Chains A and B, each alone.
Chain A
Amino acid sequence: QVQLQESGPGLVKPSQTLSLTCTVSGGSISSGSYYWSWIRQPAGKGLEWIGRIYTSGSTNYNPSLKSRVTISVDTSKNQFSLKLSSVTAADTAVYYCARDTLYSNYYYYYYMDVWGKGTTVTVSS
């Protein structure tokens, strides 16, 4: 059974770059038709999709964050990563990684079926 685990600093200073890694266990990050996504959730608020990556390196980003976000993949380590630059207090949130699975029945549907437990990142000096 595939499991995801987020890791990275829990505290980041304003204007710096937030860096998180998601480690995939129980399966290869390269197997199957999967994208790998990042999602965040400020305390008491809703979910915000940040972006996703395919193992080929193809990415899609939330337009509102695109100028500050980079998602990358390291298939040799079975990991994918998030970098968010120039952070402010508004970037304080729980950050989740998730597997974005393809389902095809003539059309091609994606859904996020496996999630990490989330990691809390606070932006503060």
Chain B
Amino acid sequence: DIQMTQSPSSLSASVGDRVTITCRASQSISSYLNWYQQKPGKAPKLLIYAASSLQSGVPSRFSGSGSGTDFTLTISSLQPEDFATYYCQQSYSTQYSFGQGTKLEIK
């Protein structure tokens, strides 16, 4: 099984801040890494696929990078609607796995 570990588990930031969330895989997964945003009571929403490709309709302030075992999700300038929980997910294996989530809160 491929284990996905996100850091930090929670993060406080202010509107306008630049924020980076990290995801580490227990083995190399090339670029088979997706990022999702989830707001309370809602289904997850795809932000980034294949490590760095921006999903259609997602604001350009979101970006992803990395390959192998280490990946990052960056929000260049936090907006009020970005306060949510973020999950990474690997699709390298046909047995998918998610990170434990990073909760982004307002400072």
Known: A103-B50, A109-B91, A118-B43. A47 touches B101 (CB 8 A): yes
Q: How large is the interface on B (under 10, 10 to 19, 20 to 34, 35 or more residues)?
A: 20 to 34
Partner of B89, one of A49, A63, A96: A49
**CB atoms of A109 and B1 under 8 A apart:** no
51-107 of chain B: CB within 8 A of chain A: 53, 55, 87, 89, 91, 94-101
Q: Which residues of B contact A103 (CB under 8 A)?
A: 49-50, 53
Interface pair B49/A111, CB less than 8 Å apart: yes
The tally of CB-CB contacts under 8 A between chains A and B is 66
Majority SS at the chain B contact face: loop
A87 vs B55: C-alpha distance when bound (angstroms): 36
B16 at the interface (CB under 8 A from A): no
In contact, B43 and A117 (Cβ under 8 angstroms)? yes
* C-alpha spacing A80/B99, complex, angstroms: 26
Interface residues of chain A: helix, strand, loop or mixed (majority): strand
30 contacts between A and B (CB under 8 A): A46-B98, A46-B100, A46-B101, A47-B36, A47-B87, A47-B98, A49-B96, A52-B96, A60-B94, A60-B95, A60-B96, A61-B95, A96-B44, A98-B43, A103-B50, A110-B91, A111-B34, A111-B50, A111-B55, A111-B91, A112-B34, A112-B44, A112-B46, A113-B46, A113-B49, A113-B55, A115-B44, A115-B45, A117-B43, A118-B43
Question: A112-B44, A113-B49 provided; 12 other pairs, C-beta below 8 A?
Answer: A47-B98, A60-B94, A60-B96, A61-B95, A62-B95, A107-B31, A109-B49, A111-B50, A111-B91, A113-B46, A115-B43, A117-B43
